[in-house]
Amino acid sequence: MIAEHKEAPHLRLLQKRLAEEVTVMVHAQEDLDNAVKASNILFGKSTASDLKSLDEQTFLDVFDGVPQAELSQEELSEGVDMIGALAAKTNFLNSNSDARRALKENAVSVNKEKVKEDFKITKADLIADKYVLLQRGKKNYYLVRFV
Q: What is the pLDDT of residues 7-34, one digit of tens each?
A: 999 999 999 999 999 999 999 998 888 7
pLDDT at 123 over 90: yes
Strand order in the sheet with 140-146: 68-71, 140-146, 131-136, 108-110, 113-114
CATH (domain of 70): 3.10.290.10
Q: Which amino acid is at 76?
A: L
The mean per-residue pLDDT over the stretch 129-138 comes to: 92
Phi, then psi, of 8 in degrees rounded to 5: -140, 70
**46 occurs within a structural domain:** no
pLDDT for 12: 93
- Residue at 15 is within a domain: no
Quote the domain boundaries for residue 77.
Answer: 66-147
Output the CA–CA distances (angstroms, integers) from residue 123 to 12, 33, 73, 108, in the order listed: 41, 27, 8, 19
106 in any annotated domain: yes
Q: State mean pLDDT over 44-66.
A: 83
Helices (H), the chain: 2-7, 13-26, 29-43, 48-53, 56-62, 82-83, 96-104
Asked, for residue 75, whether it belongs to a domain, the answer is: yes
Structural domain count of the chain: 1
Decide if 24 is inside a domain.
no
Domain membership of residue 73 (yes or no) is yes
**Average pLDDT over all residues of the chain:** 90
Chain-centroid distance of CA 142 in Å reads: 9
- Is the residue at 77 inside a domain? yes
Task: Answer whether residue 49 is part of any domain.
Answer: no
In angstroms, rounded to a whole number, what is the distance separating the alpha carbons of residues 56 and 126? 11
Please give the residue that has the higher pLDDT: either 35 or 25. 25
pLDDT of 61 reads 85
